[in-house]
Amino acid sequence: MVSTLADVARAAGVHPGTASKALNPDSRHLVAAVTVQRVREIAAELDYQPNSFARGLRTSRSFTIGLLVPDLTNPLFPPIVRGIEEVLGAAGYSALIVNTDNDAKKEMQLFMTLLSRRCDGFILATAFRQDPVVEAISKRNIPAVLVNRSTESHLLPAVAGDEVAEVRDAIKYLVKLGHRRIAHVASPQNLSPGYIRHRAFLTTIRDLGLEPEECPVVVATGFNEAAGEAASKELVSHSTSRPTAILAGNDQLAIGVMDRLSTTGIKCPEDISVIGFNDIPRMDRINPALTTFALPKHEMGVKAAQILQAWIEGTSIPEPSTIYLPCPLIIRDSTGPAPS
Amino acid sequence: MVSTLADVARAAGVHPGTASKALNPDSRHLVAAVTVQRVREIAAELDYQPNSFARGLRTSRSFTIGLLVPDLTNPLFPPIVRGIEEVLGAAGYSALIVNTDNDAKKEMQLFMTLLSRRCDGFILATAFRQDPVVEAISKRNIPAVLVNRSTESHLLPAVAGDEVAEVRDAIKYLVKLGHRRIAHVASPQNLSPGYIRHRAFLTTIRDLGLEPEECPVVVATGFNEAAGEAASKELVSHSTSRPTAILAGNDQLAIGVMDRLSTTGIKCPEDISVIGFNDIPRMDRINPALTTFALPKHEMGVKAAQILQAWIEGTSIPEPSTIYLPCPLIIRDSTGPAPS
DNA sequence: CTGAAAGCGCTAACAG
DNA sequence: CTGTTAGCGCTTTCAG
């Protein structure tokens, strides 16, 4: 068994209360320097580890944060997690990480179990545009911040990519290359990125004076390659009216679109240019290398964690607004001049 | 604030002890069915969540497991984590996940903080061939299992790919294609996969009657593309004596090797065939698509988790031996007949 | 079947 | 500066 505070106190010939003060940085100054020294030595000797159950029970602090992600297997999320861990880990917090698979029921259930573990705060990369968990958190006034997704009702602070700017930059870039028939394969609309990009697409098309009927949108039923392939089938079937450029909702959808193109015998980028979003790993190595926007994943994690830490520790209560981080356009080989 | 067991008991008109029994599946049978019913209803109404600090303090069980991985950003690990979560999550455990970056000091430090959080068990994907953390765990007799890596001293059960079979299969396959000059770019030797594959390479070369001096080994200084590129520089510099096939220590190293080949103007697979290990995502989409071995990542996680759970719950104390899972060879475009 | 009481290990308020 | 005390919320004997 491991040793307890009482063991340390006994060995040091002091009262447990005193030992506690000696060992705790915030109350060390209340104890004589020699005593502190002795207690610490003995603690080290017995390699005493404070029982975090007991401490938590007393202080109502766990130094644990709950981290909800849709799926760690999606390469978007690990860098975010690392960014979070980098700041919160250094501050003494550990992360309880769960995968929700974009399942609202699972999300709520997992949240409840994390809640009963008394997490000091939460970071959610899982929010739906309307999200009961977000409401539950907000109602209970628990520190929490959203990352990569935001909710319709701005109940919690969020850190996300600047999706509106991305879409505008993408379309401007394509127009400069001579494209006028630009289509959008949108990701599902119940999550903010899909919805925001879709809306930004519509308004940008209008703002730039393109013909809306030449710029169709089709909403994919998922986030992966297969969904992209399925969604673009109809889009590229009529060789006369087909777009010359396709903006996919994310990189995986873009790959699916390119799969469809290659099975249909359409060349990318000669016939149709394709753009993705997020710049997940190895998009520079697929064929053709994908033009996409670099979401600052690590930085998003860092920012979210900083906001959460300040909130937990009472340094600053954040506004429930969204911070939009810029996403540079990475031009590679999947885009080129519009065919003549 | 959330409600406590005492609140529930009061509202139900019973003693807290009784409420506790009524709510706990294992002791429910000690309480009258009607009472159980009433207490449960009231608990649900107040949405009572047991305080896990208090419970843990009393029971010395946290229903938490510590999960140490080198780097979540390496696509090898998320599927393992998901496999683990799948079994342990269903059993009521949550996972505290930390990244060690293959830094022994960081590993020990993080382990100690997880220990003070009273994890019921550990799964390590981080073990070095000699690993102080593994020794510390073993000495304290804490349930823990290794995954993807094993230690020299078989102190803990482990689940890994069958690296010896992989290497043998790889070389046999290459020999069948006519290769006799086969080189190995090994991954660092302080981790079991690098070491085991290296040894298997040596013995297989001998067993198959190839000339050892025609089958050089160079040990890479890291696990990534850059390390693979650097390690293969020398190997392919002499056009007369260069190998016709290279077995890289993992997929990232293999990509590095292919980078080197393409900058040197050597064609893959026409001039040199390349094989990787693990089959990380999108190896089927790079150019040329990589021939590699499919490590059963998810299954490894599942197996490790099952062993751990049985150990924690006392169902079965496992042998400290390694389970080797078969890894099928996935033949793609980076391998072909030896040049004549 | 239910109630009473003790105590897990710690911290924080207060007294000396 | 150090000791005393109480109690966080729960489970688990032991009595009734």
- Which of B49, B64, B286 is the closest to A285 by Cβ? B286
Buried b / exposed e across A248-257, counting CB within 10 Å, b at 16+? bbbbbbbbbb
- Specify the nucleotide whose C1' lies closest to residue A8 (CA): C9
What sign does the CA torsion over B84, B89, B92, B96 have? positive
* Among B112, B141, B117, residue whose Cα is nearest residue B60: B117
Predicted local confidence at residue A26, as pLDDT: 86
What's the rounded Cα separation, in Å, for the pair A68 and A100? 7
Strands A64-69 and A121-124: parallel
Question: A211 vs chain B: nearest CA distance in angstroms?
Answer: 35
pLDDT tens-digit series, residues B194-235: 999 999 999 999 999 999 999 999 999 999 999 999 999 999
| B5-50 and B163-295 have identical folds | no
Backbone torsions φ then ψ of B205, nearest 5 degrees:
-55, -45
What's the rounded Cα separation, in Å, for the pair A53 and A39? 22
Residue B162 CA from chain centroid, whole number: 13
**What tokens appear for B75 in the block?**
């696509």
Can you give the distance from the CA of residue B41 to the C1' of nucleotide D12 in angstroms? 24
Where are the domains positioned within chain B?
Answer: 5-50, 62-160+297-325, 163-295
Q: Which residue approaches C5 most closely, CA to C1'?
A: B17
Which nucleotides of strand D lie within 7 A of protein CB?
1-13
Can you give the distance from the CA of residue B17 to the C1' of nucleotide C5 in angstroms? 10
Q: Which residue approaches D8 most closely, CA to C1'?
A: A58
**What tokens appear for B110 in the block?**
């993080």
- Which of B52, B56, B78 is the closest to A78 by Cβ? B78
What's the rounded Cα separation, in Å, for the pair A39 and A45? 10
Q: Between residues 107 and 166 of chain B, which touch chain A (CB distance below 8 Å)?
A: 112-118
* Among A109, A57, A119, residue whose Cα is nearest residue B56: A57
What's the rounded Cα separation, in Å, for the pair B137 and B111? 9
* Adjacent-strand bridge partners of A65: A95, A121
Which nucleotides of strand C lie within 7 A of protein CB?
1-13
pLDDT tens-digit series, residues A264-279: 999 999 999 999 999 9
What sign does the CA torsion over A13, A15, A19, A22 have? negative
Can you give the distance from the CA of residue A9 to the C1' of nucleotide C13 in angstroms? 20
Scanning every residue of chain A, which has its alpha carbon at the shortest distance from the alpha carbon of B119? A52
User: 3-class SS at A292?
Assistant: strand
Q: Residue B321: what residue type?
A: S
Residue whose structure tokens are 């505290």:
B96
Q: Supply the DSSP symbol for B278.
A: B
pLDDT tens-digit series, residues B126-172: 999 999 999 999 999 999 999 999 999 999 999 999 999 999 999 99
Predicted local confidence at residue A1, as pLDDT: 60
Q: Which residues of chain A between 209 and 248 are close to nucleic strand D, CB under 7 A?
A: none
Tell me whether A71 touches chain B (CB under 8 Å): yes
Residue B174 CA from chain centroid, whole number: 28
**What tokens appear for A92 in the block?**
């003494």
What's the rounded Cα separation, in Å, for the pair B37 and B39? 6
Pick the CATH number of B5-50 from 1.10.260, 1.10.357, 2.60.40, 1.10.3470: 1.10.260
Cβ-defined contact of B79 to A94 (cutoff 8 Å): no
User: 3-class SS at A61?
Assistant: coil
Backbone torsions φ then ψ of A98, nearest 5 degrees:
-130, 155
Inter-axis angle of helices B5-12 and B33-45, nearest 10: 120
Q: How many CB pairs under 8 A join A and B?
A: 107
- Specify the nucleotide whose C1' lies closest to residue A12 (CA): D2
Predicted local confidence at residue A249, as pLDDT: 97
**What tokens appear for A173 in the block?**
């870039």
Predicted local confidence at residue A42, as pLDDT: 92
Residues of chain A with pLDDT under 50: none
Phi-psi region of A58 (alpha: psi -120 to 50; beta: other; left: phi over 0): alpha
pLDDT for residue B270 is more than 80:
yes
Q: How confident is the model at residue B240 (pLDDT cuts 50, 70, 90)?
A: confident
Mean per-residue pLDDT, B288-294 = 98
Q: Between residues 194 and 253 of chain A, which touch chain B (CB distance below 8 Å)?
A: none
Question: A50 vs chain B: nearest CA distance in angstroms?
Answer: 6
| A62-160+297-325 topology per CATH | Rossmann fold (3.40.50)
Q: Supply the DSSP symbol for B248.
A: E
In this structure, the protein residues whose CB atom falls closer than 7 angstroms to any atom of nucleic acid strand C are A 4-6, 16-17, 20-21, 23-24, 26-27, 48, 50-51, 54-55, 57-59; B 13-18, 21, 29-35, 54, 57-58
How wide is the angle at C-alpha A91 spanned by C-alphas A146 and B121, nearest 5°?
85
pLDDT tens-digit series, residues B81-138: 999 999 999 999 999 999 999 999 999 999 999 998 999 999 999 999 999 999 999 9
Pick the CATH number of B163-295 from 3.30.70.1450, 3.10.20.30, 3.40.50.2300, 3.40.1280.10: 3.40.50.2300
Question: B289 vs chain A: nearest CA distance in angstroms?
Answer: 9
The mean of the pLDDT values for chain B is 95
Cβ-defined contact of A114 to B98 (cutoff 8 Å): no
Predicted local confidence at residue B340, as pLDDT: 84
pLDDT for residue B1 is more than 80:
no
pLDDT tens-digit series, residues B321-333: 999 999 999 999 9
Q: Which residue approaches C11 most closely, CA to C1'?
A: A58
Strands B121-124 and B64-69: parallel
Cβ-defined contact of B285 to A255 (cutoff 8 Å): yes
Predicted local confidence at residue B2, as pLDDT: 78
Q: Which residues of chain B between 44 and 73 are close to nucleic strand D, CB under 7 A?
A: 48, 50-51, 54-55, 57-59
Q: How confident is the model at residue B3 (pLDDT cuts 50, 70, 90)?
A: confident
Contact B255, B222 (CB under 8 A): no
Contact B317, B274 (CB under 8 A): no
Can you give the distance from the CA of residue A11 to the C1' of nucleotide D3 in angstroms? 16
Scanning every residue of chain A, which has its alpha carbon at the shortest distance from the alpha carbon of B117? A52
Contact A77, A98 (CB under 8 A): no
